[in-house]
Structure 1
Amino acid sequence: MRRTTQRRIRQGVLYLVFAAAVVVVAVSADWERLKTNFLQVDVARDQLPEMITIAAKNTVLFTIIAFSGGLVLGVLLALMKLSTVLPYRWLAVAYIELFRGLPALLTIFAMAYVLPIAFQVHVPGGTVGAGLLALILVAGAYMAESIRAGIQGVPKGQAEAARSLGMPAGRTMVSIVLPQAFRIVIPPLTNEFVLLIKDTSLLFIAGSTLDTKEITTFARDGVINSNNSTPLLMAAMLYLLITIPLTRLVAVLERRLGRSR
């Protein structure tokens, strides 16, 4: 039997097993209880349109702010880690290891509550601003490693050719190396954006007002007010509507990058 035939048979068996598992789950589920607890139309109606116009909008806005700040910080940290100045490298390594090692939830708590108590420092934007600062600090640490890998992935001959033409090292990095590095790291940076969308759900620990609630906080309050879990299902659907197109975009970018290489 040919290998292609064997592979098709294995794939067919896997599809059948998956379909059988879906049927078993569908048959064994208590749909009446699911409908009562998660599919109440009147509860869903009460959550709209604010869940979209306020919660979803805030989630996207918070993600963009955290991603933009993290990107700037990540570039700075990546350059520091690749610097020939030893203290810069030590500082960058210590920062990256610290904020990659700490859970984002603890970082948000520290920025929102520990920082004001210990140093009398109040971040602009109140507790939400402090939470966003924490997401920026965490995102910057993760992005720094991706950007560093991208910079090191650029052929050294590019920088050497630029320097041979008399271009200063700083200009070479900005004009030659970084544009090519960003082209390499677009997929991992897009993945980081998707992760930040979900990490905004941790901002609940910092507190929020009606106008600053993101999807998870809005859904949690909806569950408390309605004594029903339908808002949680709506929140899950909103997250999927936002993240699935982005994950597909990552796949397309990776394929294009692979072909270009």
Structure 2
Amino acid sequence: MKPSTRRRLFRAVLYVIFLVAVAALVIVADWETIATNFLDLGVAAEQFPTIITTAAKNVVIYTFIAFVGGLILGLTLALMKLSPVAPYRWVATAYIETFRGLPALLVIFGFAYAVPIAFTEWNPPGGSTGAGLIALIVVSAAYIAETIRAGIEAVPKGQVEAARSLGMRPSWTMISVVLPQAFRIITPPMTNELVIIIKDTSLLFIAGMALGDRELTTFARDAVSQHANSTPLVMAALLYLVITLPLTRLVARLERHNQRSR
């Protein structure tokens, strides 16, 4: 048998297996129970418009705060890690390795509950939700710092040498030459980090939230308990996809663009 014939036969077998698996799922699944527990239109209707005007809006707000805060802190840490001054490098490295190694949920729990016990005067803006957001900023900054550092190091050394030969100071060279190119290089991974932060806002439930502060996951969890029905979870999942899928497609386009540019 020719190799091309074997490949076609193998693909045909895979298609058959896939179709059999789909047919078995269709036959075995209890669609009435699934529709009742996950696709109840009456329960879905009760979630509007609050699930969008409060929960989805809060996801966007929390993501913006965490990303901008993480970007500012991450840029500072990246520059510290590249600093010729050793203590700055040590501090930045210790911070990055620590918070990249800790679960975000644990950090949020610590900022929301452990820090207030240790420091009784701890009173973050926004209360427990604000404490959770500070934790998200702290965690995201560690990942963003490494992304920015990699982008800075990816800028060709000749660019820096050319700027220095024109008499530019090191600080101005970094601001006007290196960072613009570095951010162009790291746009896809930074967009990925933004998607991760969107999903990590779901961890803020551990900090405790007022009704008006709830994000999608907390809102859906409360609605599931209220209605004894899982439809709100499906709605929250769909809204997360509405928010994140355009960003993931943007990442794919940016990566293809970067590959063509190279």
Please say whether Structure 1 and Structure 2 have the same fold, judged by a TM-score greater than 0.5: yes
Q: Per the alignment, in what secondary structure is the counterpart of residue 217 of structure 1? A: helix
Moved more, 186-195 or 237-246: 237-246
**Cα distance between partner residues in 2 of 1:145 and 1:151:** 10
Aligned to 2:158: 157
Q: CA deviation at 1:228?
A: 0.9
> 1:61 maps to what in 2?
61
CA deviations over 1:148-200 (Å, ceiling 9, x no partner): 11000000010111011110000000100001000111111100111111100
Cα root mean square deviation, aligned:
1.6
The residue number in structure 2 matching 1:93 is 93
Aligned partner of 2:177 in structure 1 is 176
Q: How many angstroms does 1:35 deviate by?
A: 1.3
The change in CA–CA distance for 1:158 and 1:206 in structure 2 (over 3 A counts) is same
2:207 corresponds to which residue? 206
Q: CA deviation at 1:17?
A: 3.6
Deviation at 1:6, TM superposition (A): 6.7
Q: Tell me the TM-score normalised to structure 2 length.
A: 0.94
Residue 174 of structure 1: SS of its match in structure 2? Answer: helix
1:28 aligns with 2:28: yes
Higher deviation after alignment, 35-44 or 128-137? 35-44
Structure 1: give runs of 5+ residues left out of the alignment. none
Paired letter, 1:196: I
Within a 5 Å distance, the mapping from 1:70-85 to structure 2 comes to 70-85=70-85
2:143 is aligned to 142
What fraction of aligned residue pairs are identical, expressed as a percent?
64
Q: What is the CA deviation profile of residues 7-48 of structure 1, one whole-angstrom value per residue up to 9, with x for unaligned ones?
A: 666555544443433332222211111112111111111111
Q: Which residue of 2 aligns with 1:192?
A: 193
Amino acid at match of 2:234: L
Do the aligned partners of residues 114 and 167 (structure 1) sit closer, same or farther apart at CA in structure 2, a change above 3 Å counting? same
**1:100-146 residue CA offsets vs partner (Å, 9 max, x unmatched):** 11110111111111111102211111011111100000000001111
Residue 249 of structure 2 corresponds to: 248
TM-score, normalisation: structure 1? 0.95
Question: SS at 2:140's partner residue?
Answer: helix
Q: Matches of 2:24 and 2:182 in 1, distance apart?
A: 48
Q: Point out where structure 2 has 5 or more consecutive residues left out of the alignment.
A: none
Q: Give the letter aligned to residue 198 of structure 2.
A: I
Aligned length: 260
One-letter identity of the residue aligned with 1:32: E
| Whole-Å separation in 2 of the counterparts to 1:35 and 1:101 | 41
